């Protein structure tokens, strides 16, 4: 199989690429390295890595025309700065539309997309959220732009799977609370936690399910979620334990911000029905797998797609 992977040096894209390459598939990966890191996908047989931008329409058309992928795995996304609407729109909307259009023009057999659960808004109408929940993405530039690309995919007529995601963490995770907790604890700084709850899932569990979609399972929208949520403080405690700190640094407890969701819990029943049961890796094991990565490669940036309190 020939797979074109966008965001190939990001957390999700690099793990999927590794699994495809390990079984002998050909992979063309594209990344602009805004958040992806080249060490995530080192040079190897059957891999072509392109330093490029999916919003560059001529480049996208040339790559599709030359490589002729059987499947597109679209993991690339802009999310570094919640106020950078231009880059979010350029990458997530224009780039996403470019990929969908090129897939149609080159008769790509299948398109796999990764969507944020914030497409349902920060105050969802259901708990857990069902797949028929209305899209309410007007909470962040990230959610708006990711949802626009999903809408293009849905009207395209392509054979597609879109995974609406719980919080995906593990090695190569460069955004969100896990790397932030590690970095601040390593540097002797105090952390804060909110009263929010999240469903944290392991990136390799997601990648294994995505491979089933690459191979033809499923069609349409799915939730990748364990179906249960935990307090952010439990993640903090797991990081403290995983780092082997001698004393417990008590975190500051802060109230939820105005654009932060108390909980975003997705109903995964359709995923389990179509893809089979998922053996979800436990939180402590996820953190234990991530800590050595951060110790070797460090943390570069404390990215979040939601506005945060500037208090340090």
Task: Give tens-digit pLDDT for 66-90.
Answer: 999 999 999 999 998 999 999 999 9
| Tens digits of residue pLDDT in 44-58 | 999 999 999 999 999
HSE of 189 in the Cβ direction (CA atoms, 13 Å)? 10
Task: Please tell me which residue, 303 or 93, carries the higher pLDDT value.
Answer: 93
Alpha helices in the chain (DSSP H): 11-22, 57-67, 85-88, 96-105, 141-156, 177-186, 203-214, 232-243, 269-275, 283-297
| Tens digits of residue pLDDT in 237-282 | 999 999 999 999 999 999 988 777 788 899 999 999 999 999 999 9
116 close to 148: Cβ distance less than 8 angstroms? no
Residues forming beta bridges with residue 220, ordered by sequence position = 161
Query: What is the structure's pLDDT at 308?
Result: 47
For residue 101, name the pLDDT band (cuts at 50, 70, 90).
very high
Spatial separation of the C-alpha atoms in residues 117 and 115, rounded to whole Å: 7
Query: What is the structure's pLDDT at 310?
Result: 38
Choosing among 3.40.50.720, 3.40.50.620, 1.50.10.10, 3.30.870.10, the CATH entry for 2-168+200-224 is 3.40.50.720
Query: What is the structure's pLDDT at 300?
Result: 73
Give the mean pLDDT of 194-222.
Answer: 97
Give the mean pLDDT of 226-240.
Answer: 96
| Tens digits of residue pLDDT in 4-32 | 999 999 999 999 999 999 999 999 999 99
Query: What is the structure's pLDDT at 259?
Result: 72
Measure the N-to-C terminal CA separation of the chain; round to a whole number of Å: 48
Query: What is the structure's pLDDT at 303?
Result: 52
Quick check: 309 pLDDT over 70? no
Average pLDDT, the chain: 94
Query: What is the structure's pLDDT at 257?
Result: 82
The domains of the chain are located at 2-168+200-224, 177-197+227-265+280-297
Q: Which of 118-127, 186-195, 298-307 has the lowest mean pLDDT?
A: 298-307
Choosing among 3.40.50.300, 3.20.20.70, 3.90.25.10, 3.30.479.30, the CATH entry for 177-197+227-265+280-297 is 3.90.25.10
Identical fold at 2-168+200-224 and 177-197+227-265+280-297?
A: no
Query: What is the structure's pLDDT at 299?
Result: 87
Quick check: 302 pLDDT over 70? no
Spatial separation of the C-alpha atoms in residues 32 and 54, rounded to whole Å: 8
């Amino acid at each position: 199989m020939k797979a074109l992977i966008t965001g190939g040096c990001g957390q999700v894209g690099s793990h999927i690429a590794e699994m495809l390459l390990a079984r002998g598939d050909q992979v063309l990966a594209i990344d602009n390295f805004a958040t992806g890191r080249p060490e995530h996908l080192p040079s190897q047989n059957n891999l072509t890595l392109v330093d490029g931008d999916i919003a560059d329409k001529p480049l996208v058309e040339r790559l599709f025309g030359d490589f002729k992928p059987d499947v597109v795995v679209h993991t690339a996304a802009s999310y570094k700065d919640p106020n950078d609407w231009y880059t979010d729109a350029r990458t997530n909307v224009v780039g996403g539309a470019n990929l969908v259009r090129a897939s149609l023009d080159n008769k790509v057999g299948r398109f796999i997309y990764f969507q944020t659960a914030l497409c349902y808004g920060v105050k969802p109408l259901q708990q857990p959220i069902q797949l028929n929940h209305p899209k309410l993405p007007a909470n962040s530039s990230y959610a708006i732009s990711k949802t626009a690309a999903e809408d293009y995919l849905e009207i395209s007529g392509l054979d597609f799977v879109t995974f609406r995601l719980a919080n995906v963490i593990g090695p190569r995770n460069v955004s969100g609370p896990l790397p932030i907790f590690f970095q601040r604890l390593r540097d002797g700084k105090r952390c804060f936690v909110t009263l929010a709850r999240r469903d944290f899932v392991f990136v390799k569990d997601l990648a294994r399910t995505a491979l089933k979609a690459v191979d033809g399972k499923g069609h349409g929208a799915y939730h990748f979620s364990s179906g249960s949520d935990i307090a952010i403080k439990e993640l903090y405690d797991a990081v403290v334990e995983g780092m082997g700190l001698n004393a417990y640094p008590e975190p500051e407890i802060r109230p939820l911000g105005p654009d932060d969701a108390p909980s975003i819990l997705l109903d995964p029943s359709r995923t389990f029905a179509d893809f089979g049961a998922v053996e979800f890796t436990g939180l402590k094991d996820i953190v234990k797998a991530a800590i050595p990565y951060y110790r070797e490669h460090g943390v570069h940036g404390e990215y979040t797609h939601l506005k945060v309190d500037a208090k340090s």
